[in-house]
């Protein structure tokens, strides 16, 4: 029977697999997202990037900002008297407005270039003070000196003596307008750009997860087919009836593998059906040398249709138990399965084969499974090993949690 007290005592006193902090989003687990393929060099990605660039440079948006800048620049001239009281019939009067518009456009473009460096600087420095510092640097270090130089150029162009009080007012008004425009640009355009970048990163992230899962699935133990065919060959000669049963169950197991090998998560009920089919193969191969117990009955604890698990997880654990432990009809290997609302625990008595203790690659299957579980459920395997017992706890996830 499943010794729950022993399990918890050993679990609390045994070193566990370390958890890694990987910021994966749960939307990555949805089937429609997991089917996405890497798009890093796909032509569609280039087209999408060009469309986003065109949208950013669209005539409507640029026209709106230019119109606002023109109105603000003309207002600055009117408020500060930069035109020097010249009559509207003089060319210099209108040239003053045009010059002011040009200066404000230059100041705006310079500030845009500074703010476009924010994301790059944020990745390097990661501080909440970056935005205030960037804001002060853009205004105090660039906007104010540049505005001063440019409007000194206006006094030189108009061949006027420099009016310092007027110059100060003009520079302050330009700084105020740029500050307001920068605020609205930060809260609208840059926010939209960040959202688009986040969506793009999510696509790359999902593609990366899919690629990792496919690579891990390719590492499934190839010895299973070799051993199964050897057993089938032996049964065909020794017991044709059992060979037929073995062949049918082997077909079910491989049908399941082909159907679910590219899936991130599968129904717990399907995984338990596979476990029963695989157990039938082991019974035909080892007769009474293997015994599988599922305690307590599933119906009294959870509904397996409402939970998902990493594919081939339970089959791998049962295969490992048989592969690494001595068994015989006189001393059968008993493997117990316990199903809870957060995990499936598989345990067995440890009777390790001596030849397996020093075999290269020992434990690779568990490491593979642990990586797949981490990618798909955001959790890790819990492995507890003592001198005489071995427990593996595989996380399961309710379908409602991931939106299946």
Q: In terms of Cα–Cα distance, which of 310, 305, 316, 307 is closest to 376?
A: 310
Alpha-carbon distance of 226 to 271, in angstroms, equals 22
CB 391, CB 347: distance < 8 Å: yes
281: its two tokens: 């193969």
What are the structural domains, with CATH classification, of the chain?
Answer: 4-19+222-402 (3.30.565), 43-203 (no CATH)
pTM for this prediction: 0.50
H or E stretch at 28: none
Alpha-carbon distance of 212 to 200, in angstroms, equals 19
CB 277, CB 256: distance < 8 Å: yes
Q: What is the DSSP letter of 325?
A: B
10: its two tokens: 């050993």
Q: Please report, in tens digits, the pLDDT of each residue of the chain (404 residues total).
A: 555 565 555 555 544 444 433 443 444 444 444 443 444 444 555 455 545 544 554 556 667 778 888 898 899 888 888 888 888 888 888 999 999 999 988 888 888 777 777 666 766 766 666 667 777 777 777 888 888 899 898 888 888 888 888 889 999 999 888 888 877 766 666 666 667 667 766 765 665 566 555 555 545 556 677 778 888 888 888 888 888 988 888 888 888 877 876 677 889 989 998 899 889 889 888 888 999 998 765 556 677 888 899 888 898 899 889 988 898 889 999 999 998 888 999 999 988 887 655 444 456 778 878 887 887 788 889 998 888 899 999 999 887 665 55
Q: What is the pLDDT of residue 361?
A: 46
Q: In terms of Cα–Cα distance, which of 59, 153, 62 is closest to 103?
A: 153
Q: In terms of Cα–Cα distance, which of 29, 401, 26, 404 is closest to 210?
A: 29
Q: What is the pLDDT of residue 333?
A: 93
Could you tell me where the beta strands, DSSP code E, fall in 303-355? 307-309, 333-339, 343-349
Q: What is the pLDDT of residue 394?
A: 93
- Outline where 261-291 has alpha helix (H): 268-286
Q: In terms of Cα–Cα distance, which of 146, 69, 153, 151 is closest to 105?
A: 69
């Amino acid at each position: 029977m499943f010794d729950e007290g022993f399990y918890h005592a050993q679990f609390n006193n045994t070193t566990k697999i370390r958890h890694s902090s990987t910021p994966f989003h749960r939307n990555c687990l949805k089937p429609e997202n997991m089917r996405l393929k890497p798009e890093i060099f796909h032509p569609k990605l280039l087209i999408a990037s060009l469309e986003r660039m065109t949208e950013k440079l669209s005539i409507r948006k640029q026209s709106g900002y230019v119109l606002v800048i023109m109105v603000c620049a003309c207002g600055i001239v009117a408020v500060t008297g930069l035109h020097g009281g010249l009559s509207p019939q003089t060319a210099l009067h209108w040239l003053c407005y045009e010059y002011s518009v040009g200066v404000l456009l230059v100041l705006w473009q310079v500030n845009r270039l500074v703010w476009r460096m924010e994301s790059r600087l944020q990745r390097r420095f990661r501080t909440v003070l970056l935005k205030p510092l960037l804001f002060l640097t853009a205004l105090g270090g660039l906007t104010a000196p540049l505005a001063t130089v440019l409007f000194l150029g206006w006094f030189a162009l108009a061949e006027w003596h420099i009016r310092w009080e007027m110059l100060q007012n003009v520079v302050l008004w330009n700084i105020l307008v740029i500050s307001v425009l920068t605020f609205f640009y930060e809260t609208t355009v840059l926010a939209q750009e960040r959202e688009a970048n986040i969506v793009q990163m999510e696509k790359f992230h999902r593609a990366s997860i899919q690629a990792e899962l496919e690579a891990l699935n390719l590492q499934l133990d190839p010895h299973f087919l070799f051993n199964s065919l050897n057993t089938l060959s032996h049964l065909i000669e020794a017991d044709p009836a059992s060979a037929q049963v073995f062949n049918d169950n082997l077909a079910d197991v491989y049908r399941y593998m082909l159907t679910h090998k590219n899936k991130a998560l599968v129904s717990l009920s399907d995984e338990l059906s596979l476990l029963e089919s695989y157990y039938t193969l082991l019974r035909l191969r080892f007769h009474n040398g293997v015994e599988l117990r599922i305690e307590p009955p599933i119906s009294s604890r959870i509904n397996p249709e409402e939970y998902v698990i990493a594919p081939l997880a339970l089959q791998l654990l049962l295969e490992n138990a048989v592969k690494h432990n001595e068994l015989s009809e006189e001393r059968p290997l008993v493997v117990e399965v316990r199903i809870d609302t957060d995990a499936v625990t598989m345990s067995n008595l440890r009777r390790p084969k001596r030849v397996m203790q020093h075999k290269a690659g020992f434990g690779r299957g568990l490491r593979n499974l642990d990586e797949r579980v981490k990618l798909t459920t955001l959790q890790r395997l819990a492995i507890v090993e003592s001198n005489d017992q071995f427990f593996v706890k595989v996380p399961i996830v309710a379908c409602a949690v991931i939106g299946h």
